[in-house]
Amino acid sequence: MQERVQRIIDVLKPAFAGTEVVLVGVNDGIVRVQIFASGCHGGPPAEATLALLQEELMEEIPEIKEIVAD
């Protein structure tokens, strides 16, 4: 499942507009990511990035229960 999650993150990178999302791991349907939002470059805030990521991942991979930003 981790490879599927990483592929989706890679596809979404242009939508993150400079905000970096790093996959930390996937365990029991819980996806852990780190979000590095650079507010000075006009990218979306971390909350918006997490919301987009959550929507896409849960739609594409129904086994995912939760996305957590560390």
Residue with the bigger pLDDT between 15 and 10: it is: 10
pLDDT tens, 19-42? 899 999 999 999 999 999 765 555
pTM equals 0.85
Q: Where are the domains of the chain?
A: 2-29+45-69
The pair of three-digit structure tokens given for residue 7, joined into one six-digit string: 């592929």
DSSP 1: -
Q: Which amino acid appears at position 47 of this protein? A: E
Residue 2, pLDDT score? 95
How is the chain split among helix, strand and coil, in percent rounded to 5? 45, 25, 25
Residue 42, pLDDT score? 57
Give the HSE-up count for residue 16: Cα atoms under 13 Å, Cβ half-sphere: 23
Q: What percent of the chain has pLDDT over 90?
A: 71
Residue 45, pLDDT score? 78
Residue 46, pLDDT score? 84
